[in-house]
Structure 1
């Protein structure tokens, strides 16, 4: 036991020295675009609540009514006594809304990616994946018997070279539509051309796009995605996740996906709330417009102030580089009332640390002004 404890202490010490130690502050509550911490109120630029539904009074009351009506737990796996008709109805509603044949709900996006990627393929499959895919996708791939081949981030030219060497194997391309750290968008039309030529199965993680981008928030990847991954925990303001997929794939996962088979399913109240959310999404054009405008304003103002920032939508990546410097910038901003994530290795490549700025429809022009002025003052001192 002593040797075990000492090993953990040593690894944590090295983690601190490298600027990679994680110790998130305790949050007492969330109010609009702000968080209340022990040291006071801070503006929150580290949220994925892109449309503000996570603090919506309307949705809060609907969810409360649903849990009062249906109870707090399904108390079973989906494949035992948890296959409620309301959950199936909600899945059909999501499939219709987003334009797919079927949908399948999961307790988390991590579990959805794990179930899909660890189950669906065999040793006769080769999966070409963008090297900046989410950690949950990486873990799912690690559990898959498929042959794996990464391609350079957002490089369709590199992907094309990979595909040309793919041979006669069953071929899959795995990517994201809006990358969670880089903030850049998938070249859908370019990928569609490759799909027409090489005929691969395409899986697109749309976790950061669904609800926000595209008509009625339906995302951007439908022209290429045979299977899409979505989440309730970001723009949709709830919790859990879902796959949008062909009926045959849903049937296959029901029979072979261990993360689905051996987990308690989400409760009926969640399914009822998910249906309520679709109505809010359909009426969310004004929030989506506001989010697009404030995100562009933040990006433009940051660049005008001399900062290097990337991002095609509501996720902005402000380049820092050094892990210690990024952590210090984040900590100093918090002292000034600004909460923003210092994304460091292994979330991003080593030496490529960023401040990851999450914009929401709740942010105002004054919030942008405060952020930029505070950032200037902090970076001058570092």
Structure 2
């Protein structure tokens, strides 16, 4: 088979090795060092917040956020039914009760559904900016403020995206990001929690590192049951080299998406990612909805025979075997999950590679 085109591929901009060598020479190779501090400043700037706390992964960022908010067993939390599983898993580990809400036409949690799901038992809302298109955080956060409940933005897929001119991550009480290798910019592994609240930021920093004491005498006096969620200075060095090129990376992702839109817009029955005038999309992935009635696995197999890797869309919560049974119908989540594929789309993707994907899709859908 010809060399496959992957769904994602990290782009190295040139200073990653230089910065890693600096970190190694400094001997600060664990959870402290100048690159950790610099990465936090770069993440806060990108998210439009005052504080960022970098951690070992996007999943640990969620665990840290929910711990800092005091999410406890039995707490009722509204979350999108169509989502990557990580935020829900973090809630389930804490014994929270997840109340799923169906998607709207942006592929995100429907604000009307959020409003309908609110009860006197609701403790908080997790909103996820799906595939890089921001959810309606303005309205959802306003609903939360009226009730006096917290909001966590899972912005793992949306660094650099904007809603109404504000960055994804700047709306909720806390927001989380991921810097896994398939993200727009990466530290290999890694994540961050951001906030504008100095008290929450201090709490996050303490919890990240086992709540060690601040002074020499109280070093081993732990004020809480924290975690070891530190990001190493070596990985932060990679993260800094990447974040310095965030605008370039986003421009590349948006250019790839624009070209896909141009070349696939006329394919009968093929659904393209939503956009709106309010949104600046990060295009973490470029997803399509296959024409109704087409067998998704058959199309994916045909694309793979041409060396085109794909991924199915997320599996909805109401069909997850690890989620307690929930009531209600989730038609849009079902449609997205059953028909969705995302295509190769990475920073620096060449025109010839993109054309190869497009030609393979045309062939697969013509049969």
TM-score > 0.5 by shorter chain: yes
Deviations 1:289-335 (A, max 9, x none): 34323303313432311142242342333234999943332232222
Q: Are the counterparts in 1 of residues 271 and 291 from structure 2 also a CA contact under 8 Å?
A: no
Where in structure 2 are the equivalents of 1:154-165 lying within 5 Å? 154-163=109-118
Residue matched to 1:354:
340
Residue 325 to residue 62, structure 1, CA distance change in 2 (3 Å)? farther
Deviation (angstroms), 1:113: 1.8
Q: What is the alpha-carbon distance in structure 2 between the residues aligned to residue 56 and residue 374 of structure 1? A: 28
Residue matched to 2:230:
265
TM-score w.r.t. structure 2 length? 0.72
Q: Whose helix fraction is larger, Structure 1's or Structure 2's?
A: 1
Q: Are the counterparts in 2 of residues 124 and 170 from structure 1 also a CA contact under 8 Å?
A: no
Where in structure 2 are the equivalents of 1:184-195 lying within 5 Å? 184-195=133-144
Q: 1:148 aligns with which of 95, 98, 105?
A: 98
Residue 280 to residue 320, structure 1, CA distance change in 2 (3 Å)? closer
Structure 2 stretches lacking a partner, 5+ long: 104-108, 212-225, 275-280, 321-332
Q: What is the alpha-carbon distance in structure 1 between the residues aligned to residue 191 and residue 262 of structure 2? A: 33
Residue 349 to residue 263, structure 1, CA distance change in 2 (3 Å)? farther
Q: CA RMSD in A?
A: 3.6
Q: What is the alpha-carbon distance in structure 2 between the residues aligned to residue 259 and residue 43 of structure 1? A: 42
Q: What is the alpha-carbon distance in structure 2 between the residues aligned to residue 92 and residue 193 of structure 1? A: 28
Residue 378 to residue 304, structure 1, CA distance change in 2 (3 Å)? same
Q: What is the alpha-carbon distance in structure 1 between the residues aligned to residue 209 and residue 187 of structure 2? A: 24
Q: Are the counterparts in 1 of residues 78 and 124 from structure 2 also a CA contact under 8 Å?
A: yes
Deviations 1:273-298 (A, max 9, x none): 433434323xx25x533432330331
Q: What is the alpha-carbon distance in structure 2 between the residues aligned to residue 264 and residue 256 of structure 1? A: 8
Residue 189 to residue 330, structure 1, CA distance change in 2 (3 Å)? same
Residue matched to 2:12:
56
Deviations 1:39-78 (A, max 9, x none): 442233x11x5xxxx332413333442344245942xxxx
Deviation (angstroms), 1:196: 4.7
Q: What is the alpha-carbon distance in structure 1 between the residues aligned to residue 308 and residue 28 of structure 2? A: 35
Q: What is the alpha-carbon distance in structure 1 between the residues aligned to residue 147 and residue 310 of structure 2? A: 41
Q: What is the alpha-carbon distance in structure 2 between the residues aligned to residue 297 and residue 61 of structure 1? A: 32
Residue 100 to residue 125, structure 1, CA distance change in 2 (3 Å)? farther
The question of 1:213 aligning with 2:168 is answered no
Residue matched to 2:85:
135
TM-score w.r.t. structure 1 length? 0.70
Deviation (angstroms), 1:142: 0.5
Q: What is the alpha-carbon distance in structure 2 between the residues aligned to residue 228 and residue 363 of structure 1? A: 29
SS in 2 for 1:305: coil
SS in 2 for 1:309: coil
Q: Are the counterparts in 2 of residues 91 and 104 from structure 1 also a CA contact under 8 Å?
A: yes
The question of 1:375 aligning with 2:350 is answered no
Q: Are the counterparts in 2 of residues 172 and 202 from structure 1 also a CA contact under 8 Å?
A: yes
Q: What is the alpha-carbon distance in structure 1 between the residues aligned to residue 34 and residue 293 of structure 2? A: 49
Residue 289 to residue 309, structure 1, CA distance change in 2 (3 Å)? same
Q: Are the counterparts in 1 of residues 270 and 289 from structure 2 also a CA contact under 8 Å?
A: yes
Residue matched to 2:173:
226
The question of 1:91 aligning with 2:20 is answered no
Q: Are the counterparts in 1 of residues 44 and 51 from structure 2 also a CA contact under 8 Å?
A: yes
SS in 2 for 1:121: coil
Q: What is the alpha-carbon distance in structure 1 between the residues aligned to residue 72 and residue 102 of structure 2? A: 24
Residue matched to 1:65:
21
The question of 1:201 aligning with 2:150 is answered yes
The question of 1:329 aligning with 2:280 is answered no
Q: What is the alpha-carbon distance in structure 2 between the residues aligned to residue 100 and residue 305 of structure 1? A: 41
Q: Are the counterparts in 1 of residues 344 and 357 from structure 2 also a CA contact under 8 Å?
A: no
The question of 1:279 aligning with 2:282 is answered no
